[in-house]
Structure 1
Amino acid sequence: MDMRKLVGQNFARIRREKGLTQEQIEERSGFSQQYLSGLERGRRNPTVVTLYELAQALGVSHLDLLKPGSTN
Structure 2
Amino acid sequence: MDIRDIFAQNIRRVRRQRGVSQEELASLANIDRTYVSALERSVYSASLDVVASIAKALDVEPHELLLKSRRN
Fold match (TM-score > 0.5): yes
What's the secondary structure of 2:23's corresponding residue?
helix
Aligned-residue offset at 1:33: 0.7
Identity, % of aligned positions: 32
Q: Gapped runs of 5+ residues in structure 2?
A: none
Quickly say closer, same or farther: Cα 1:68–1:31, change in 2 above 3 A: same
| Aligned alpha-carbon RMSD (Å) | 1.2
What TM-score does the superposition give when structure 1 sets the normalisation length? 0.92
Counterpart mapping for 1:1-72 below 5 A: 1-71=1-71
AA aligned to 1:36 is: V
Aligned-residue offset at 1:70: 4.8
AA aligned to 1:41 is: R
AA aligned to 1:65 is: L
Q: Gapped runs of 5+ residues in structure 1?
A: none
What TM-score does the superposition give when structure 2 sets the normalisation length? 0.92
Quickly say closer, same or farther: Cα 1:71–1:20, change in 2 above 3 A: farther
Using CA pairs under 8 Å that are at least 6 residues apart, name the structure with larger relative contact order, 1 or 2: 1
Q: How many residues align?
A: 72
What's the secondary structure of 1:16's corresponding residue?
helix
What's the secondary structure of 1:39's corresponding residue?
helix
Could you report, residue by residue, the CA deviation over 1:10-60 in whole angstroms, capped at 9, with x for unpaired residues? 000000000000111111111111000000011111111110111001111
What's the secondary structure of 2:4's corresponding residue?
helix
Aligned-residue offset at 1:71: 4.6
